[in-house]
Amino acid sequence: MTTLYGIPNCDTVKKARAWLAEHGVEHRFHDFKKQGVPEVDLDRWLAAAGWEKLVNRKGTTWRGLDEATRNAVVDNPTARTLLLDHPSVIKRPVVAWAKGAITVGFDATDWQQRL
């Protein structure tokens, strides 16, 4: 089963959920706000995609962090701590595809090729 992780009011997550539904991709939605960030999954995402891809440095949550906190994120372990403390900093959506691949962000062309 494909799992889409994110925040329900995020515009990109809304587009991604609609795209999956339109293309008949059975999936479940994991809400970071209600269900938190699963640590085991986060470790898998960091291994597969790397911290640079998972940390959304363009979002308001990142920009709202103090400079020392932002500067302390330099590798997977430091990013892991930040992402667990501030799930809104995770670039969305994260998708764990049924065949085991992990993607970060919404890219309709890439997703089409996965079907």
Choose, from 2, 3, 10, 31, the residue flagged as catalytic.
Answer: 10
> Annotated catalytic, 43?
no
| Side chain identity at residue 4, one-letter code | L
DSSP state letters, 10-75 = -HHHHHHHHHHHHTT--EEEEEHHHH---HHHHHHHHHHH-HHHHB-TTSHHHHHS-HHHHHT--S
Question: Active-site positions?
Answer: 10
